[in-house]
RNA sequence: GGGGGUGUAGCUCAGUUGGUUAGAGCGAUCGCCUGUCACGCGAUAGGUCGCGGGUUCGAGUCCCGUCACUCCCGCCA
């Protein structure tokens, strides 16, 4: 009980019948019957119907009251008659007969209504975010986010993890995403960077002997936005453990995610134990390392079929001869679908920038036949071969694409989603988690052709140190893993390399001299040479977890005050210019355009 | 940096083949209404059709440019 209220707007029931109460909240909705006025008063907890009749002197004032004004209402709790009870409202058994009221906060005419399920443009929502956040759906998303974070914190504590804060002003890192830069006043010409993740710090915490660490860590990356990627900043459940192997990290994360997802949704898990899929297999079967396993479609390699003499598909055969590959998706019992069904996928593929998506269906008359524009280019024997490779049957159809490997993967990954979606194969009521494991340590840089780290340079290579094939670095796999849910990458993690000598060797392969490594990763390398424990960790994205739990496709729906796609905050007007005085203090000159 | 979509009243949208005075719902304002909970009924106000240029007798509609928002590619160890 405070000066402003004896109860909140979700509390009153028939038990309170006859009590005099104070409620404070926003004027959510009015229903004006001329001589009788209903007012819904709303706060964070719920709404309560308040009522006033014409004989009250301030009836006219309340009748004209602007919605979203903040009111304190003093009144009598009154049991509603049976016919007028509202079962959809917690407080629907009663109403409050207004005896007096006070305006605590006036409200101008609203740019967007709060009471509405309509959708509004991002621009206006972000500009008036405080109004937008009063609306039911997003308000409950943000409440959910708060609860999820508290729950995670609690569970992590129970699992024996210690919560620490790491610096926000740190040094720019040469690897990874673009940094946000902060100029240093005391060190003219030098800059801090905001952390892309507390990566090096969490490893240093392990070297410092704290054994298990976690943090709900803000991470800053100056990269362009996507629907599931905020520009600028996001939060990770950052965690790291000492004296563990990959499976030990998996056990903790599976346990945690199980608890979190079961606590906050009713949706089932497709797999209780998260399947482990090697990077190589994922790329083959799903053409991506973040597959949506709710989708049962799998991709098959048909390159060998196009080397057969009884296949007359000359365009593809020529491409295959010059190094292209063929990958295919089979759809069950679709041979009866109209021509437009198939052509639409071809059209779609072209709109994605591919040369198209070829197709045919398997039919049987005397022999096995392929029905479709390119069907007669395949002999019955070759069709048999395709059926053997893909598991296709008579009545099924096949979509295939031929191009350089990177292009084929780039087409087949979204094609698998698209076809699965069109055929309604994706069960929206499940969560399908999986681990992607055995990432390669290195890859070839597309632009320079040189060998570079494919993920985190601090990851531990797999295998006994003596047996690692340093001569063929592209064959080296790392203890590097991702966790994926419903096609969304939740996080990456790794068992770290805690051996300085091995690290020098690995950096050398990526073209770094010892002196360069010493210079760029001085703190880290130095720490590892004073007795570092084997350790590893992971960092699931909090925003994406909440997105999945809330069933939202856009990260802004679970973020209190997000920036727009151009990394601007329209409400606070950020970024903005600063005064000359500030620039001068920082020794910064702005280049005039 | 590149590609797609959108931009019309405060908000959400419609607007036909280029043709008279650009419409609807919600909201606002005014009036009527004692049981609503998306209350109902009637009226009124509200428009630089994102912006600039062009074609045309005539442009919300066609063309060129530009800006904003959004989705995607690149980017995101």
The secondary element (H helix, E strand) that includes residue A453 is strand A451-453
Specify the 3-state DSSP secondary structure of A495.
strand
Specify the 3-state DSSP secondary structure of A82.
helix
CB A507 within 8 A of CB A564: no
The secondary element (H helix, E strand) that includes residue A249 is helix A246-264
**How far: A64 CA to B8 C1' (Å)?**
31
Specify the 3-state DSSP secondary structure of A357.
coil
> Which nucleotide is closest to A119, CA to C1'?
B12
**How far: A103 CA to B30 C1' (Å)?**
24
Rg (CA), chain A: 31
Per-residue pLDDT of chain A (593 residues; tens, 9 = 90+): 899 999 999 999 999 999 999 999 999 999 999 999 999 999 999 999 999 999 999 999 999 999 999 999 999 999 999 999 999 999 999 999 999 999 999 999 899 999 988 889 888 999 999 999 999 999 999 999 999 999 999 999 999 999 999 999 999 877 789 999 999 999 999 999 999 999 999 999 999 999 999 999 999 999 999 999 999 899 999 999 999 999 999 999 999 999 999 999 999 999 989 999 999 999 999 999 999 999 999 999 999 999 999 999 999 999 999 989 999 999 999 999 998 889 888 888 887 778 888 999 999 988 899 999 999 999 999 999 999 999 999 999 999 999 988 889 989 999 999 999 889 999 999 999 999 999 999 988 877 778 888 888 899 999 988 889 899 999 999 999 999 999 999 999 999 999 999 999 999 998 888 998 888 888 888 999 999 999 999 999 999 999 999 999 999 999 999 999 999 988 888 998 899 999 999 999 887 65
Cα distances from A524 to residues A34, A200, A208, A219, A529, in angstroms, run: 74, 7, 12, 19, 9
CA atoms of A87 and A403, how far apart (whole Å): 60
> Which nucleotide is closest to A110, CA to C1'?
B10
- Residue-level length of chain A: 593
Cis peptide before A523 (omega within 30 of 0): no
- Nearest to A255, CA basis, from A116, A161, A132: A161
- Nearest to A26, CA basis, from A67, A74, A76: A67
Q: Which residues pair with A237 in a beta bridge?
A: A216
Specify the 3-state DSSP secondary structure of A514.
helix
Which two structure tokens, joined as six digits, stand for A226? 């996507």
CA atoms of A571 and A130, how far apart (whole Å): 9
Does the ipTM exceed 0.90?
yes
> Which nucleotides in chain B have some atom under 7 angstroms from a protein Cβ?
1, 10-13, 26-30, 32-40, 68-77
**How far: A46 CA to B40 C1' (Å)?**
26
**How far: A340 CA to B55 C1' (Å)?**
39
Q: Token pair 């860590």 is at which residue?
A: A217
Which two structure tokens, joined as six digits, stand for A18? 């006859």
CA atoms of A24 and A104, how far apart (whole Å): 9
> Global pTM?
0.93
> Which nucleotide is closest to A89, CA to C1'?
B37
Which two structure tokens, joined as six digits, stand for A449? 């052709």
**How far: A475 CA to B40 C1' (Å)?**
75
CA atoms of A396 and A362, how far apart (whole Å): 6
């Amino acid at each position: 009980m405070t000066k402003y209220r004896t109860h909140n707007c979700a509390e009153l029931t028939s038990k309170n019948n006859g009590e005099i109460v104070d409620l404070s909240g926003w004027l959510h909705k009015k229903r004006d019957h001329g001589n009788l006025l209903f007012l819904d008063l709303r706060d964070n907890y719920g709404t309560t119907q308040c009522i006033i009749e014409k004989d009250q002197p301030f009836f006219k004032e309340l009748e004209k009251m602007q919605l979203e004004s903040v009111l304190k209402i003093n009144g009598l709790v009154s049991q509603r008659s049976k016919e007028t009870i509202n079962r959809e409202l917690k407080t629907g058994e009663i109403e409050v007969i207004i005896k007096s009221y006070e305006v605590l906060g006036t409200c101008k005419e609203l740019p967007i209504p709060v009471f509405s399920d309509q959708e509004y443009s991002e621009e206006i929502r972000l500009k008036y975010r405080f109004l937008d956040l009063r609306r039911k759906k997003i308000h409950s998303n943000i409440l959910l986010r708060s609860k999820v974070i508290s729950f995670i914190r609690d569970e992590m504590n129970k699992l024996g993890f210690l919560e620490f804060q790491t610096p926000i002003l740190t040094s720019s890192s040469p690897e990874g995403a673009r940094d946000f830069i902060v100029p240093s006043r005391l060190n003219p010409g030098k800059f801090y960077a905001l952390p892309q993740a507390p990566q090096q710090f969490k490893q240093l915490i392990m070297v410092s002997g704290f054994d298990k660490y976690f943090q709900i860590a803000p991470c800053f990356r100056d990269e362009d936005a996507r629907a599931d990627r905020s520009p600028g900043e996001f939060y990770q459940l950052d965690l790291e453990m000492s004296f563990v192997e990959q499976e030990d990290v998996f056990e903790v994360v599976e346990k945690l995610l199980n608890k979190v997802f079961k606590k906050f949704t009713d949706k089932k898990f497709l797999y209780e134990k998260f399947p482990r899929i090697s990077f190589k297999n994922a790329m083959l079967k799903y053409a991506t390392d973040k597959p949506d396993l709710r989708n049962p479609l799998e991709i098959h390699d048909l390159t060998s079929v196009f080397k057969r003499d009884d296949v007359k598909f000359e365009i593809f055969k020529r491409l295959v001869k010059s190094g292209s590959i063929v990958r295919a998706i089979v759809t069950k019992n679709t041979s009866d679908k109209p021509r437009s069904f198939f052509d639409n996928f071809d059209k779609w593929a072209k709109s994605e920038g591919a040369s198209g998506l070829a197709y045919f269906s398997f039919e049987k008359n005397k022999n096995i036949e392929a029905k479709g524009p390119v069907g007669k280019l395949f002999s019955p024997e070759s069709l048999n071969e395709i059926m053997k490779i893909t598991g296709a049957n008579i009545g099924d159809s096949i979509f295939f694409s031929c191009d350089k490997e990177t292009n084929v993967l780039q087409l087949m990954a979204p094609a698998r989603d698209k076809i699965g979606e069109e055929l309604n194969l994706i069960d929206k009521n499940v969560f399908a988690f999986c681990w992607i494991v055995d990432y390669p340590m290195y890859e070839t840089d597309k632009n320079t052709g040189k060998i570079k780290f494919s993920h985190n340079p601090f990851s531990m290579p797999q295998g006994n140190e003596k047996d690692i094939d340093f001569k063929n670095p592209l064959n080296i796999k790392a203890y590097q893993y991702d966790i994926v849910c419903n096609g969304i990458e939740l996080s990456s993690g790794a068992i770290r390399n805690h051996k300085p000598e091995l690290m020098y060797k690995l950096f050398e392969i990526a073209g770094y001299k010892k002196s360069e490594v010493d210079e760029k990763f001085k703190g880290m390398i130095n720490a590892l040479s004073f007795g570092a424990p084997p350790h590893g960790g992971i960092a699931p994205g909090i925003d994406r977890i909440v997105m999945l739990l809330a069933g939202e496709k856009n990260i802004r729906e679970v973020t209190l005050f997000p920036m727009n796609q151009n990394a601007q905050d329209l409400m606070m007007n950020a970024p903005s210019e600063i005064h000359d005085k500030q620039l001068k203090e920082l020794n910064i000159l702005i280049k005039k355009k």
